[in-house]
Structure 1
Amino acid sequence: MQSLSTNNPSLYTLATVNDDAQPLLSPTTPMYGAAPRTPIAPSRPSSRKLIFNAALKMSCIFLLSTLVLGGTLWLALPTLEEQDRPLLRIPKSFEQLQDLNGLLKKYRDIYPYRIVICYVITYLFLQAFSLPGSMYLSILGGAVWGVARALPLACCCVATGATLCYLISAALGPALLTLPKWKARLDRWAVKIQQNKENIISFLIVLRIAPLPPHWVVNVICPHVGIGIVPFWISTALGIFGVTVIHTTIGGGLDEMTSPDDFHLISWKNFLGLSAIVVGVLVPVGLRYWFRGQVADVEIGAEAEEVEEAELDLGPDRTLVVGPRAAGNKKQTPVSEEDEYTDFGSDSDDEDIILEAGPALTSATKSTVEHS
């Protein structure tokens, strides 16, 4: 498993699909009254079978989540009047958004906690399965509770719902890696993530602010390119902050609007605001590279100074230890230049280093040798 993830970051999830569990009764286990069989190599499931199993599991998860959503709304929603029940739906148009806004404001003061629970569970459901309508819910939150309360609530809902999509993709997404097209796309994203590994939070925040790729693509790809769940949640909450400010601010004036044209989603004010967020995110990245360059220059200068000091310390040879002088009138035989050249090489300019001199022979020792 480790070698696969080292060579290609998007292969570790594919390896989990092909790892078959060992049966309790293996083919080599001898049975009573039967000869042992030869081991049979396990066959890996085909790509079509893996995709079918993943689609079946996804259908079950979606059905179970729908039942949880319906049960929560049935328990948490207050008893509605007959004329208000048709207005309770996920908004997909401007008219439905205004109708739902009036309905929630009608019951907001009577059942405040129930309305918040229904809002949160609906938002999580849409984000977990990447369904349309999240923008309208952010605008609706700003209209019902104001920007100060709706902004952190919507950011947490988006980040948590995207994390649910992350987990679903981590569990069922490896089946898509058996398709060459999806595998090649994940490999390209794995290379980009690896290149921005040191600035992964800033990189993911910019991806959330940028219109391309779509957010659901980021949710599906991130678990297969080695991005952890904690940096994913943090980057999603921070990356969606600027857009959520725009949506909740629009919701604050929803009662005075008459058409979707009054939203003014595309404007110079919004563009400059998002650009300021991108610049603020990239400033730490630039400072990190600048300080890294400064540290590298300091290290290079220190190494150059050490080399210069080492060169200055090198000088002519010096006498380390001088032994005692020889006793008596014995004169040392001078050494000719030829003998010196023969014994010590051609470097006549270098001075000899005298490490230690032993005691000289006395005259008594000499006379003893002559009598013998």
Structure 2
Amino acid sequence: MACIFAVSTLFLGGTLWLALPTLEPADRQFLQIPKSFQQLQDLNGLLKKYRDIYPYRIVVCYVSTYLFLQAFSLPGSMYLSILGGAMWGVARALPLACFCVATGATLCYLISAALGPALLTLPKWKAQLEKWSVKIQANKDNIISFLIILRIAPLPPHWVVNVICPHVGIGIIPFWISTALGIVGVTVIHTTIGGGLDDMTSPADFHLISWKNFFGLSAVVVGVMIPVGLRYWFGKGVETVEDVEEEQEIEEGDPIIAVGPPPVNKFSHNRPLLVRGEDERSYSSEEDDDEDVILESGPAIDIKANNSADSDANLIILDPSPSSSNSTIPRV
């Protein structure tokens, strides 16, 4: 993990070094990831100064920084969304910020997929994973809507969702789509705030928590749940129709009192032993037909009686072989 973070940091530094325009010495101190309202104001003024001169370079630097923060779940993403709304307006900043959030979260997904199995050997992480696996399996049919609501909800933190998803059977494509759609509502609020950043004097002017934002996010949740409700409603109707069709098939068909044994070949060893009526006679005739068949018989045995006084007999046997002659068995 340390090696991946070091390489990513070098890549970000190289990208900024190549893409950023040459800054004046007085402006270099404002070039940093914003972590406060004042730093956000300073960076906004700096980027607007060079935005019209180097438009594509500013976009490359913005996207690279956003992906870096999302990939390692570092703070500052909200400020970048606000900054995007201040520089390009809601219409252009909204799709750009959603793309950066979804792609950066996917990078975190891939890092977790590569290094996460080592953490699963720890009982605490394994128990947490099993807990979320049960929730995912319960909402498997509506996984996209479920993930979108997780993105809108404040709990659990988004980095937890990024880390757990590759280990509970969620593919990378559903993950990216759900992240991009789930972040739309919050990003609309951030970019809208950025549109009025120049007129703000303190973080209190953000008005992140307001009834307007609450009802806006609630409308997004309702819109996400509509497909789930429709799927449930029509799925229930389809099940009812199938049950009725099965009952009609049972009523229209002939009643089956009992089911006999399947037909068995007469040469099979599984034939029934007890047969009655006509089947018994046919079966007995088949048994008669199955008697031993004599293919070839040897010569007959000629036994001659001897009328001698001692009533002894000589037994004459013809040798079946054609080459030998008749032989006489000695007297017994």
**Under a length normalisation based on structure 1, what TM-score does the superposition of the two structures give?**
0.68
1:151 corresponds in structure 2 to 94
Match for 1:210 among 142, 145, 153?
153
Matches within 5 A, 1:71-82: 71-82=14-25
Per the TM alignment, residue 310 of structure 1 is displaced from its structure 2 partner at its CA by 2.7
- Structure with more contact order per residue of length (Cα contacts < 8 Å, sep ≥ 6): 1
Inter-partner Cα distance in structure 1 for 2:5 and 2:134? 32
Match for 2:49 among 100, 106, 109?
106
Matches within 5 A, 1:238-317: 238-310=181-253
Per the TM alignment, residue 190 of structure 1 is displaced from its structure 2 partner at its CA by 0.7
- Report whether the alignment pairs 1:92 with 2:92: no
- Report whether the alignment pairs 1:169 with 2:112: yes
Question: 1:275 is matched by which residue type in structure 2?
Answer: S
Per the TM alignment, residue 265 of structure 1 is displaced from its structure 2 partner at its CA by 0.3
Per the TM alignment, residue 130 of structure 1 is displaced from its structure 2 partner at its CA by 0.2
Per the TM alignment, residue 274 of structure 1 is displaced from its structure 2 partner at its CA by 0.5
Of structures 1 and 2, the larger Rg is shown by 2
Inter-partner Cα distance in structure 2 for 1:305 and 1:61? 64
Per the TM alignment, residue 303 of structure 1 is displaced from its structure 2 partner at its CA by 2.0
Inter-partner Cα distance in structure 1 for 2:250 and 2:5? 68
Cα deviation code 1:257-315 (max 9, x no counterpart)? 0000000000011011111111111111111111111011111222222233236x99x
Inter-partner Cα distance in structure 2 for 1:82 and 1:306? 86
Which blocks of at least 5 consecutive residues in structure 2 are unaligned?
257-276, 278-332
Question: 1:229 is matched by which residue type in structure 2?
Answer: I
Inter-partner Cα distance in structure 1 for 2:250 and 2:215? 52
Inter-partner Cα distance in structure 2 for 1:219 and 1:304? 47
Considering only aligned residues, what root-mean-square deviation do their CA atoms show, in Å?
1.2
- Report whether the alignment pairs 1:59 with 2:2: yes
Per the TM alignment, residue 220 of structure 1 is displaced from its structure 2 partner at its CA by 0.4
Cα deviation code 1:60-88 (max 9, x no counterpart)? 00000000000000000000001100000
- Report whether the alignment pairs 1:129 with 2:72: yes
Inter-partner Cα distance in structure 1 for 2:240 and 2:165? 36
Point out 4+ residue stretches in structure 1 off by more than 4 angstroms: none
How many percent identity over aligned positions? 82
Inter-partner Cα distance in structure 1 for 2:150 and 2:4? 28
Inter-partner Cα distance in structure 2 for 1:175 and 1:304? 54
- Report whether the alignment pairs 1:192 with 2:144: no
Match for 1:120 among 45, 63, 77?
63
Q: How many residues are paired up?
A: 257
Question: 1:208 is matched by which residue type in structure 2?
Answer: R
Question: 1:279 is matched by which residue type in structure 2?
Answer: V
Inter-partner Cα distance in structure 2 for 1:268 and 1:182? 37
**Under a length normalisation based on structure 2, what TM-score does the superposition of the two structures give?**
0.76
Question: 2:59 is matched by which residue type in structure 1?
Answer: V
Cα deviation code 1:314-347 (max 9, x no counterpart)? 9xxxxxxxxxxxxxxxxxxxxxxxxxxxx9xxxx
Inter-partner Cα distance in structure 1 for 2:183 and 2:130? 26
Inter-partner Cα distance in structure 2 for 1:297 and 1:60? 57
Inter-partner Cα distance in structure 1 for 2:15 and 2:139? 41
Question: 1:238 is matched by which residue type in structure 2?
Answer: L
Inter-partner Cα distance in structure 2 for 1:177 and 1:106? 48
- Report whether the alignment pairs 1:140 with 2:87: no
